[in-house]
Amino acid sequence: MPTSMQIGSLNAEILHNLSTIADDADMLNRVAKYLRRLVKKREDETLMTREEFLGKLDEAEEDIAQGRGRTFSNIEDMNRWLNSL
């Protein structure tokens, strides 16, 4: 975790860099879009990295191979199970 001195230095660097591109609307739009994406990632705890996702797929395939998968005879049973989670 960064110290408050490091955070202050980073803030100063970010503000300096923003002032450098302040007259370029295209660059500012790109920065704003990237910042929105960063904030969304921080706020959405359901997001995972590609590696985490692929790891979950590997685990699921292993579960199925060992007979720990789930099957449903109809969609209603599946929906009941999903809603119970």
Tens of pLDDT along the chain (85 residues) come to 778 888 889 999 999 999 999 999 999 999 999 999 888 877 777 778 899 999 999 999 999 899 888 889 999 999 999 999 8
Give the closest residue to 31 by CA, choosing from 23, 21, 16. Answer: 21
Hey, where are the domains in the chain?
4-43, 50-84
Question: How many CB atoms neighbour CB 21 within 10 A?
Answer: 13
pTM greater than 0.85 (yes/no): no
Residues 85, 76 contacting (CB under 8 angstroms): no
Please compute, for residue 68, the number of CA atoms within 13 A of its CA located in the half-sphere on the CB side: 6
Cα–Cα–Cα angle for 50, 51, 57, rounded to 5 degrees: 90
**Which residues does 27 contact at the CB level (< 8 Å), separation at least 6?**
21
